Amino acid sequence: MNNKNQLKKKIHQTELQIKRLQNHANNTSVCEDLYNSLILQKAVLKKQLEELEKNPLLEKVKKLIPRKEKLICDYFS
């Protein structure tokens, strides 16, 4: 639970930094690079938060139950 809160706090801090840099991103290449790296960092943090929120037992059950995949030809029959 503590790890989730830390990730949420980091995401919030990254969003604040992105908002501050948003106006200056087009001015210099350094600001643009920093802005892009913050966007990537935010995406990584969100993905880590999603992974923490997943239920491992439910994921194992999903892997065991086979899904019937639809083919394109199934739509035209």
Largest Cα–Cα distance in the chain?
57
pLDDT digit string (tens) for 20-71?
888 877 788 888 889 999 999 999 999 999 988 888 787 778 788 877 788 8
User: Would the pLDDT of 14 be above 90?
Assistant: yes
Q: What is the DSSP letter of 65?
A: S
The pLDDT value recorded for residue 46 is: 94
Closest CA to 20 of 9, 31, 29: 31
- Rounded to two decimals, the pTM is 0.68
For range 69-76, the mean pLDDT: 81
User: What are the domain boundaries of the chain?
Assistant: 2-75
